[in-house]
Amino acid sequence: MNKITLITGATAGIGKACAFRFAKKGHDLILTGRREARLQELSAQLNEKYGIKVLILAFDIRDRKATTEVIAGLPDEWKNIRILINNAGLASGLNTVQEGDIDDWERMIDTNIKGLLYMTRAVLPRMVANKKGHVINIGSIAGKEVYPNGNVYCATKFAVDALTKGMRIDTVQHGIKVTQIAPGAVETEFSMVRFHGDAQRAKTVYEGYEPLRSEDVAEVVFFATSLPRHVNINDLVLMPSRQASAMIMHKD
Ligand code: NDP
Ligand code: 8X3
């Protein structure tokens, strides 16, 4: 086997771009997400283009039992995961707290915090035993600043920020690297999901300036994993050049 990288949420956006970037470098990949047909298509593309091995695992990361069992049940040759990219996540809704939809809140908390924790808890022990591994958590500018109506999504990304620091403290003596990559606006399916399929509204988020592309983020994630063993990026915020903070964009 080549170096094994597990990417959660590889069916779209940043996770999918990471799959292409790491495949190009010859990593074998474990790719997760709920949409199995997309995982199958992606696996075939990566295998054909880069000749790497791909294992697809279609499950909902909010499901604690499923997440624990798929990792426990990995075939022996796939068990030694070197890089875990905790990417699966979403925003659902954009409302004040007083008008918020509690189902939206639970979806975000269950995916962005609990799902990330289930996966990390399942993968980390073997990294610790191997004294080798790198966890990359995809945070957000929303985990650095709270913006109007961002409340619960921001809270989940602040949690990712805190968990990244906690994971680093807990594993530093075992030779594990832990990194947070926190992007600003990236044009993906993110806003379609946030606005519950309202394509028109989603489009306006990325109008009037050049947002980041998924590939830009994947390049930075890859860079963070390609440094010498004694060098770690703890936390990296990347933004479109025309974005100064969560709310300040220089639009045409
Ligand atoms: P996309 O919507 O394009 O991709 C999200 C991915 O997460 C999909 O592959 C989706 O797979 C997966 N996912 C979502 N919910 C679940 C679930 N319950 N179980 C398993 N997989 C799930 O969005 P992005 O690529 O933009 O988002 C990726 C990460 O980047 C998220 O954590 C997001 O918060 C973060 N981020 C995004 C920014 C942006 O502006 N786009 C900026 C900063 C951070 P499927 O639906 O098939 O399950
Ligand atoms: C996604 C970026 O600014 O919409 O995390 O929260 S933002």
The pTM of the whole model exceeds 0.95: yes
Distance CA 186, CA 150 (A): 16
Tell me which residues of the chain have a pLDDT lower than 70: none
Cβ of residue 88 lying under 6 Å from some atom of ligand 1: yes
Q: Give the per-residue pLDDT at 36.
A: 98
* Ligand lying closest to the C-alpha of residue 150: 2
Distance CA 202, CA 197 (A): 8
Q: Give the per-residue pLDDT at 17.
A: 99
CATH of domain 4-238: 3.40.50.720
Distance CA 23, CA 241 (A): 28
**Residue 7 in 3-state DSSP?**
strand
CA of residue 180 to ligand 1 center, whole Å: 15
Handedness of CA 191, 135, 35, 59 (dihedral sign): negative
Q: Which of 8, 138, 210, 220 for a ligand 1 pocket mutation test, highest count of atoms within 8 Å of Cβ? A: 138
Distance CA 224, CA 239 (A): 16
Domain ranges of the chain: 4-238
Cβ of residue 239 lying under 6 Å from some atom of ligand 2: no
Q: Give the per-residue pLDDT at 1.
A: 83
- Residue with the nearest Cα to atom 4 of ligand 2? 185
Burial of 250 (0-12, 13-18, 19+ CB in 10 A): exposed
* Ligand lying closest to the C-alpha of residue 12: 1
